Amino acid sequence: MEYSMDQSLLPNIFNFLSCTDPFDTLSTEERDKLAGSVDIHYLMQGDRLEADRILGAGLYMVRVGAVEQRHQDDSLRARLGSGDLFGHSQMARKCECQYSVTALENTLLYLIPREVLRRLMDENPSVRDYFDGREGKRLACSNQREQAMGNDAFYLSPVGKVVNQNVAIVSPDTSIRRAAGEMLRQRRSSVLVMEGNRLLGVVTDRDMTKRVVAVGCDTERPVSEIMTGTPVTIDCEAPLIQAVELMMEHNVRSLPVFSEDKVAGVMTATSLIQRSRVQAVYLINRIYRKNSVEALKELTLQRQSVFETLVETGIHTRSIQQMMTLIANAFSKRLLQLAERTLGEPPCEYAWIVAGSQARNEVHCFSDQDNGIVLAEELDEKQKDYFRRLAEFVCYGLSECGYKLCPAHKMATNPGWCVPLDKWMDYYRSWIVRPEAEALLNVNVFLDLRFLYGCETLVTSLQEGVSEYTRNNRRFLAILTANSLRVNPPLGMFRQFVLAKDGANRSVFNIKRQALNLLVELARIYALAANSGEIDTVGRLRSAAEARIISVESCKELLEALDFINQVRFSHQRTALIRGTDANNDLEPALLSQFERNHLKDSFRIIARTQEAALQRFNAKGVLA
């Protein structure tokens, strides 16, 4: 049944449009004009909106009630509720409509006529992009819209974009006096000591003061005698905040920058700090200046404040995760330095490794710990006790600083995760060759592995060994895929969220377990199929696309889904922090905006479609049945 417009209904229609994506992006004048062009339809329960009333009509919006769409063969297409839209895919069709609509209950529909909608799409890119038929395109539009105000700040730019390429360089046999003259001529606070293309060391103006002037050193002696050998360096593609972290961790003022094994310039701490007036830089600086766990604990609220500020100012979710990871790295490294200072020199070389989200550079404000220790050799009981105490110092220290202990005890405090390199290799061999239930739990954590502190060659050897076991291992990929498919996105066949009751009897879904983890696992599987060594989820998806394991379009869709889901998750966590409530991963759809609900549905459909593709590609059906 269709009604002529009652002018008293205009405010209600205007308010509905103001809360409905994408019409909430229109100006007030445009929305007011649009409200006046809307037609109203009322369906009693059981009434049918025949195909000829949908074909070419325009866009229907369910204001109140529920309807179901059925194909021409009477098979179910979808069920729609309040806020859902339909009809736009049938506007340009010249033959029969693909479906009819029946009211499941008394339903009020708004119709935007075809010509009105077409005009809006011509004049408004956000409206046009929204009605693109692809979920990924809509998500791309939504991510641009939500983060339009959030430009990645200076400190997240690549080092190479701002590095000073004016470099003072001398040979190792150059006199100290001539090296100082070269620094003065180039107006640099440091000089690189090089032999051909090989960097041997660095001399700073402070070195000149402390090692030459203060002790009356002969300035005709070779500069190699006062240089700092094997200096810390950074790649030109690394973010500037990482340069800051390295300078603070190693207490250096000049950082040589390399591009493809060649010196590209030098970063100085002074210029970085002066230009990076942000909380995160100062927090990392303060972390490396603290000399006790108690002092580090005082920075917990500041870490939380950094997260809130990054989310509030619209910084891209990937940059937020990268920043929070660098802060977590700084806490971990400083605790390791303090542990060694307290316990003395370690009895053998070791590597502190991080796993899970920290390994993937995907930490957020509430990430827990996943870590371990790779030892260079077998130890006696006394030596083992040293590493037991070191692990407890670091892990419990991290807990004091707000990084929760891993519920599954995947931490260095577990003796099983503090073992020699060959024992780690035995673990991976058994997990990959005989991937039983417990093995799969370990794989999901420790296949994401990154060196953090100590002897890096131990971790390099471990990663090379693991790649030998996983390379072209189709059976292992099938098992990983089957295990991942045990969980599905929280979206039913009727486009409604599939919910469960939490402890407070709320209807919720878990955005981490039912969405983000699935994306992480799919990216890991596809990267393994591509024999890629990438660790972070974004890098894994891109490497899979480059290897043509997935299409470029699928990669884009998955990245858009990943970004939007994280955006909703971080917003939810920030709100919980502000309210002082539990910041978990359980979301109530009723508390989300319609914009968020609609685009989460797009994201979940992309995940489900990719799961189905992985099932077929890796022959995973029935593997774990």
Residues 241-280 pLDDT 10s: 788 778 777 777 788 999 888 888 888 765 555 444 456 7
Q: 157-275: what fold?
A: CBS-domain (3.10.580)
CATH number (3.40.47.10, 2.60.120.10, 3.40.50.620, 1.20.120.1200) of 2-129 reads 2.60.120.10
Sketch the domain layout of the chain as residue ranges. Answer: 2-129, 157-275, 279-451, 471-617
The candidate with the shortest Cα–Cα distance to 435, out of 406, 464, 407, 469, is: 469
Tokens standing for residue 238:
């690394």
Residue with structure tokens 């486009």? 495
Low-confidence winner among 7-21, 105-119, 134-148, 513-527 (lowest mean pLDDT): 134-148
Q: What is the pLDDT of residue 440?
A: 85
Confidence band, pLDDT 50/70/90 cuts, at residue 598: confident
Report the chain's mean pLDDT, rounded to a whole number: 86
Q: Give phi and psi for 533, each to the nearest 5.
A: -95, 10
Amino acid at 5: M
Is pLDDT of 146 > 50? no
Is pLDDT of 531 > 90? yes
Residue with structure tokens 């359980």? 586
Q: What is the mean pLDDT of residues 173-184?
A: 90
Q: What is the pLDDT of residue 415?
A: 96
Is pLDDT of 2 > 60? no
Tokens standing for residue 134:
């692809």
Q: In 10 A of CB 551, how many CB atoms? A: 12
CATH of domain 471-617: 1.20.120
Beta carbons within 8 Å of 399's beta carbon, 6+ residues apart? 369, 405
Amino acid at 321: Q
CA distance 419 to 324: 28
pLDDT digits (tens, 9 = 90+) for 62-112: 988 888 888 888 877 777 777 788 888 888 777 788 888 999 899 999 999
Contact 351, 459 (CB under 8 A): yes
Domain 279-451 annotated CATH 3.30.950.10 = no
Q: pTM for the complete prediction?
A: 0.71
pLDDT digits (tens, 9 = 90+) for 540-586: 999 999 999 999 999 999 999 999 999 999 988 988 887 777 778 89
Q: What is the mean pLDDT of residues 528-545?
A: 95
CA distance 475 to 433: 9
Look at residue 594 and give its three-state secondary structure: helix
CA distance 268 to 287: 19
Confidence band, pLDDT 50/70/90 cuts, at residue 8: low
Q: What is the pLDDT of residue 292?
A: 95
Confidence band, pLDDT 50/70/90 cuts, at residue 370: very high
Q: What is the pLDDT of residue 64?
A: 86
Q: What is the pLDDT of residue 151?
A: 39
The candidate with the shortest Cα–Cα distance to 9, out of 97, 83, 88, 108, is: 108
Q: What is the pLDDT of residue 147?
A: 47
Q: What is the pLDDT of residue 267?
A: 82
Q: What is the pLDDT of residue 276?
A: 45
Q: What is the pLDDT of residue 133?
A: 53
Q: What is the pLDDT of residue 428?
A: 94
Q: What is the pLDDT of residue 5?
A: 47
Q: What percent of the chain has pLDDT over 70?
A: 91
The candidate with the shortest Cα–Cα distance to 344, out of 276, 399, 271, 393, is: 393
Low-confidence winner among 33-42, 424-433, 570-579 (lowest mean pLDDT): 570-579
Is pLDDT of 113 > 80? yes
Tokens standing for residue 384:
């083992």
Confidence band, pLDDT 50/70/90 cuts, at residue 7: low
pLDDT digits (tens, 9 = 90+) for 452-467: 999 999 999 999 999 9
